[in-house]
Structure 1
Amino acid sequence: MKNIFVAILLVSLLASCTKNFKDFNQDPNQISDQMLLQDNNLVGSPFSGLLFNIFGHQIEEDLCHDSWMGHLNTPTPFVGNVNNTTYYIRWNAYWGRIYGSVMSPSKQVIELAQKYNLPLFATWAKLIRILAMSKLTAYHGPVIYSNYGTTASTILYDKESDLYDSFFKQLDSIQTTFATNTSYTGFKKFDPSYSGNISAWMKLVNSLRLRLAIRLSKVAPALAKTQGEKALSDPAGLITTNADNFKVSLMGQKMPMAVICFEWDDTRMGAVMESFLGGLKDGRVSKYFSTASNSALYADHPTFPYKGIRNGAYIGAKIDRVPFSKVSEDFQTVPTRRSFTAAEVSFLKAEAALRGWVGAGDPQANYENGVRLSFADWGAGGVDAYLADNTSTPWNYVDPIDAKNNFTASSTITVAWNNADNNELKLEKIITQKWINNFTNSLEAWVDFRRTGYPKIPHVAKNDSSPDWGVIPADQWIKRMPFVNGERTGNTQGVADAVSKMGTGAKDDIATRLWWDTGGPNF
C-alpha cells in the first residue's frame, strides 16, 4: 500500500456522520457559477465524478470483496496479517466515498437542476444515486437514503425492504421521464458512458431493475417476479450487446487495480480464480492475468503458467508472493471500467428463466449467450470448445510457499449445459460463469455468493474474526460490513434503529445476514 496511514486518515474523515456533510468551499479564483451556467456546465460537469465514484479503490474493494470472492488477493501482510481479508475489519471506507462523492454532489446537482429548470439532469442524478446506493446497501444493509440531507440530530436509516421499494418506484419515474425525452441531447458533453444517448440509459434502467429483482428473488419472490418481468417486458429493452455495455470513465486515471498491482505490488491473482480458470480451461485467463515470473511457482500444473494467492491466506514476507501472477498489463492503459455488461444481463435472464419469470426466455440459451458475450467482451478465444466441455472441473490449489493455504476444490461443475441437471446445479453453473465474467466488479459476485452460495469457494485460510467485529464460524463466510465508526459515534440512535430493522437477534457485525441473504434453499 502506498501509504496506508494516509488512506486510513482519509477514511476517518470521509466516514464522519452523514448529517455533517458540508458544501465545498468555493475558491474565489475559480470560474463563477454564472460563467459555468453557459451550456449547462454548472449542472453537468459533476457527472463524470459521480459515475467514477460508484466504485471504490484499495480499502473499499481490493482488501474487501476482491479478496473474499477470490478474484484477487494481497501478497502483503498488512497489520501483522490480521485485516479485512482475514475477517478482522481494519478499513471501512465505501460509506464515505458514496456519501461524500456521490450523494453530496448529486444533491447539489438536483438543487441546481431545479433552480435553473433542467429537470432531466435531476432525473439523471437520481439514477446515479440508485446505482450507488444499491451498492452501498449490499455492504451494510440499512442505509440513509430517504432521510439523506436532514439536519436532525438523529438520522434514521431506511429498512432494506423499504429501500428496495423506493428504488423500484424511482426507477419507474426515471424511466417515464426518459421515455418522453428520448431525443434530448443535453447530456452529451457530460456523459462519458453513453454520450448522452437517453435510449441507452433506458436500457440501463431496465437492466438495473432486473439485477435488483434477482437480488430479492428468495426473500420477496412475488415482488421480485413483478419487477423482473417489468424489466423484461419494457419496450426500451435491456443491455443485450457488448456495444450497450455500461462502462465508467476512469477520467484519465489508471485503473485502481493496476495501481495497486503494478505500482504498489499489493495485489495478485486469487487462488480461487486459478482453480476455476485453470481447471475449466478458460481462455479469459490471459485477459485477466499475467503469467507468474517463476515456473517453480506453478509446478503443480506446468502448462498453466499462473499462480494465485488464497483468500484470507497465511502471509509471511511480502516478497515471497510478489512473483505470483499480476493482473494483465492491459489494465495499465484501459480508459474505462465495466459496470454492467450484456453478459451479466444474460446470466440474470438465465436465472430468471429458471425461476419461471415471463419473458426471460430459455435458461440454456441465456447461459450460453452470456458466456459468448463475456468471451467476446474480454477478447478471448475458444468459446465453442469451452461451452462443449463436459469433463473439465475446477482444480485443487497448491501454495508453493505455505501448505496451510492449500485447498481442495469444493465445486465439481463442468461448463457444458445439461438439461437433465436439477435447477440447483444449473444455477451453480450460471452464477459461476457470472462470477468469472464480473472480474473487476466483484461486489456483484459477493452479492450472488451470499444469496445463493455460488460459486463454491473455500473458506478463508486464516480466520481472525473476533467479538470485536463479529465471529464468523469456520464453516461460514463474511456476511456484511459493519456501520462506520463515524456513524456509530455521531448518529448512535440512528445506528441502533438500523440494527433493529435488520431483524431479531441482529448485531452491527460481520456475521449478521442482510435481508435478501436468507440462508435458505435457492428453489
Structure 2
Amino acid sequence: MKTKKLYSIVVVGLLTLFIFGGCTEDFEEINTNRTKLTELDQSTLGPAFANAQWRTFSAYQIFQNLFSDLYAQYFTTITPNFPSDRHVQVGRWIDASYRVFSTDPVPSILEVIEKTAENGDDVGNAVARVWKVHMFHRITDYFGPIPYFELGSSESSVPYDDQQTIYMDFFNELDAAIAVLESNPGGSAFGTNDLIYGGDAGQWLKFANSLRLRLALRISGVDAAKARTEAEKAVASGVMLTNGDNAFLAVNDASFNQLNQITAWNEFRMSANMESLLKGYNDPRISAYFAPTVDNPNEYEGARNGLKQSDLALPENKANTLSNMADIFLPPSQGINPQTVMYSAESYFLRAEGALNGWNMDGTAEDLYNMGIRLSLEQWGTPEDDIQPYIDGTSLPVATGDFVNTPPLTDIPVLYDPANALEQIHTQKWLALYPNGWEAWAEMRRTGFPRQYPRISSDNPDAPADQIVRRMRFVDGEYINNARAMDGAVEKLGGPDKELTRLWWDPN
C-alpha cells in the first residue's frame, strides 16, 4: 500500500484545537509535531509504533467523552453548553477528531506495517497488524462505512468501504498475525516503544485472540456461523485469562492519560444508571470508580442523562452534589494512571455469551460469568472475602430518588439466573468495562443491555430522548474534502446519514 510520508514520530509540540468559542481552554491539547520523512528506519519504527498506540486515543474529550461515554450512560454532563448529552452531534468536534485519527496514528501504523514487512520483522509486523485492527474497529463501530483499504493513499478522493467487508478483513489480518505470534511465543517487537506489553509476543497473542473474540460476538447477530468459527478459534488459540494479561497503555508526564486530563474541567459526573446499579448491588467498585459528593462525603449520587439547562440549575444537579470520578482518574495521576485498552474480564463475559449460544468456550456460561465478575472485582482491589458474597448477591438495583422519581434501572440480581442470563452478562460486562465508554456503547447498541434510562430531553429531532443513538454521522469535512466518495459512503451505510441508522452488525 502506498502511504503518505507524513508521520508524528516524536510527541513534542502543543497544538490546541480551538473548536468552539467560549470553551477553548476546556478542550484537550493535542501533542503533535509532524515530520516529513522519506523513510522510516529501524531506529524510528519503534517510536512510530508508540505514536500509533498513544494517538489512537487522541482528542479524548471531543471524540469519546462527549459522545460514547454519554451514549453508554457512564456519565452525565453538568455543563449547559455541551448539547451532546441531549443527542446533538456537534460536527466541529467530530470533524476535528476524525482528522486527527486519519492524519496521525493511521499513517504511522501503515508505515510500520509496510517497513516491518520489508525488513523481515515478522513479529513486529504481526503486532502492528493487530493494533491496526484495534484502531480501525473503533472507528468503523462509530461511523459504519469508513475509508479503510485505500486510506493513506495519495489519491485526492478516498472511497469508503462497507462495514461487512472491513470486518472480514479484520479477521484475515488477525489470522495472519496470530499465525506468526503462535510460531514465535518468545518473540519480541519494539521493546519499550510498545507501550502496552513491552514487546512481548506471547501477550500480544492473547490480546489478538481476545480482540478476535470481541469482534466475533459483535457480528453474531448477522453472521452466526462466522461468529462461532472466529470465537472458537480465539478461545482455542488462547485469550486473556488473568489480570496480568490486561492491556493498559503506559503513560508519563508527556504522554499522559487523557481521561485524567479532562476531569480537571469539572464537566461531567456519575450517571443515574451507575447509581442505581452500584448502590443496589452494594458494589465494592463504587469507591474505585467514583468519589462521594463534596456536599455529603457519605453519599454517592448520579444524575440522569439529557438534563435541560433548567434542570442543571437545580441544586441536586450541581457539581458538589453529584459524584465525580475517583481520585485515580483526577489530574494528579494523569502521568501515572495507565490508559485503559482492554481488560481480561471482558473476555470472560464474551465467552459467557458465546456459551449461551452453544459455542465451545471452554466453560459454562455461569462459570465464565462468575469469573468475569471475579476478575473485575480483583482488578479494582476488592478484598477476597467480599468477592463471593457479591457474586452470590440477590439485592436489586435501586431508585435514585431524584427530581423525576427515577425508578430502579432493572430487576435482576447479580446471582446468576439462567432465565435472565443474557441481561446479567451484559449488565456486569458494562460495569466491568468502565471507563471504556467506546466499547460499552457498541455493546449496548448490539444487545440492548444494560437497560438505559430515557434521556430527560433531546435537542435532536432525528434522535428522540427514548432512543439509543446507533452511530455517529459522517464528518462534515469529508463532505467538503472527500465529496466524490460520500454518495458511495451513504449507499454502503444502507440508510440515511442519521444518528438512528443502524450499522451492519446492528440489524435488530
1:458 aligned to 449, 453, 456, which one?
453
**Is residue 124 of structure 1 aligned with residue 127 of structure 2?**
yes
Between the aligned partners of 1:167 and 1:136, the Cα distance in structure 2 is 13
Task: Select between 244-253 and 324-333 the one with higher mean Cα deviation.
Answer: 244-253
Between the aligned partners of 2:146 and 2:55, the Cα distance in structure 1 is 17
Between the aligned partners of 1:325 and 1:475, the Cα distance in structure 2 is 24
Q: Identify the residue that residue 192 of structure 1 maps to in structure 2.
A: 195
CA RMSD in angstroms comes to 2.5
Give the secondary structure class of the aligned counterpart of 1:78: coil
The letter of the residue matching 2:230 is: Q
The letter of the residue matching 2:197 is: Y
2:466 aligned to 475, 494, 499, which one?
475
The letter of the residue matching 1:331 is: F
Q: How far apart are residue 114 of structure 1 and its match?
A: 4.4
Between the aligned partners of 2:74 and 2:360, the Cα distance in structure 1 is 33
User: Does the C-alpha gap of structure 1 residues 23 and 180 become closer, same or farther in structure 2, counting only changes over 3 Å?
Assistant: farther
**Alignment of structure 1 residues 438-449 onto 2, 5 Å:** 438-449=433-444
Give the secondary structure class of the aligned counterpart of 1:268: strand
**Is residue 140 of structure 1 aligned with residue 143 of structure 2?**
yes
Q: Identify the residue that residue 305 of structure 1 maps to in structure 2.
A: 299
Check whether the contact 1:411–1:457 (CA below 8 A) recurs between aligned residues: no
User: Does the C-alpha gap of structure 1 residues 285 and 184 become closer, same or farther in structure 2, counting only changes over 3 Å?
Assistant: same
Q: Identify the residue that residue 153 of structure 2 maps to in structure 1.
A: 150
Q: Identify the residue that residue 374 of structure 2 maps to in structure 1.
A: 372
Between the aligned partners of 1:340 and 1:197, the Cα distance in structure 2 is 16
Between the aligned partners of 2:156 and 2:180, the Cα distance in structure 1 is 35
The letter of the residue matching 1:249 is: A
User: Does the C-alpha gap of structure 1 residues 50 and 251 become closer, same or farther in structure 2, counting only changes over 3 Å?
Assistant: farther
**Alignment of structure 1 residues 289-438 onto 2, 5 Å:** 289-295=290-296, 305-315=299-309, 316-317=312-313, 321-323=318-320, 324-332=322-330, 333=333, 334-381=336-383, 382-390=386-394, 392-399=395-402, 403-404=403-404, 406-418=405-417, 421-422=418-419, 425-438=420-433
Identity of aligned residues (%): 31
Between the aligned partners of 2:72 and 2:399, the Cα distance in structure 1 is 16
Unaligned segments of structure 1, at least 5 residues: 10-21, 27-31, 299-303
Between the aligned partners of 1:51 and 1:151, the Cα distance in structure 2 is 23
Q: Could you report, residue by residue, the CA deviation over 1:94-118 in whole angstroms, capped at 9, with x for unpaired residues? A: 4223322321111232343345443
Task: Select between 141-150 and 96-105 the one with higher mean Cα deviation.
Answer: 96-105
Q: Could you report, residue by residue, the CA deviation over 1:419-444 in whole angstroms, capped at 9, with x for unpaired residues? A: xx33xx20100000000011111111
**Is residue 245 of structure 1 aligned with residue 238 of structure 2?**
no
Q: How far apart are residue 247 of structure 1 and its match?
A: 1.0
User: Does the C-alpha gap of structure 1 residues 222 and 162 become closer, same or farther in structure 2, counting only changes over 3 Å?
Assistant: same
TM-score of the aligned structures, taking structure 1 as reference length: 0.84
Check whether the contact 1:88–1:464 (CA below 8 A) recurs between aligned residues: yes
Check whether the contact 1:48–1:251 (CA below 8 A) recurs between aligned residues: no
Check whether the contact 1:62–1:73 (CA below 8 A) recurs between aligned residues: no
Q: Identify the residue that residue 35 of structure 2 maps to in structure 1.
A: 25
User: Does the C-alpha gap of structure 1 residues 176 and 413 become closer, same or farther in structure 2, counting only changes over 3 Å?
Assistant: same
Check whether the contact 1:157–1:494 (CA below 8 A) recurs between aligned residues: yes
Check whether the contact 1:54–1:131 (CA below 8 A) recurs between aligned residues: no
The letter of the residue matching 2:469 is: I
Check whether the contact 2:124–2:188 (CA below 8 A) recurs between aligned residues: no
**Alignment of structure 1 residues 159-174 onto 2, 5 Å:** 159-174=162-177
Between the aligned partners of 2:154 and 2:53, the Cα distance in structure 1 is 26
**Is residue 96 of structure 1 aligned with residue 99 of structure 2?**
yes
Check whether the contact 1:43–1:121 (CA below 8 A) recurs between aligned residues: no
TM-score of the aligned structures, taking structure 2 as reference length: 0.87
User: Does the C-alpha gap of structure 1 residues 216 and 328 become closer, same or farther in structure 2, counting only changes over 3 Å?
Assistant: same
Check whether the contact 2:293–2:299 (CA below 8 A) recurs between aligned residues: yes
Task: Select between 95-104 and 219-228 the one with higher mean Cα deviation.
Answer: 95-104
The letter of the residue matching 2:250 is: S
Q: Identify the residue that residue 15 of structure 1 maps to in structure 2.
A: none
The letter of the residue matching 1:386 is: Y
Q: Identify the residue that residue 84 of structure 1 maps to in structure 2.
A: 84
Between the aligned partners of 2:318 and 2:260, the Cα distance in structure 1 is 17
Q: Identify the residue that residue 476 of structure 2 maps to in structure 1.
A: 485
Q: Identify the residue that residue 176 of structure 1 maps to in structure 2.
A: 179
Unaligned segments of structure 2, at least 5 residues: 1-14, 22-31
Check whether the contact 1:288–1:327 (CA below 8 A) recurs between aligned residues: yes
Between the aligned partners of 2:97 and 2:120, the Cα distance in structure 1 is 32
Aligned residues: 470
Between the aligned partners of 1:128 and 1:277, the Cα distance in structure 2 is 33
User: Does the C-alpha gap of structure 1 residues 164 and 193 become closer, same or farther in structure 2, counting only changes over 3 Å?
Assistant: same
Task: Select between 50-59 and 117-126 the one with higher mean Cα deviation.
Answer: 117-126
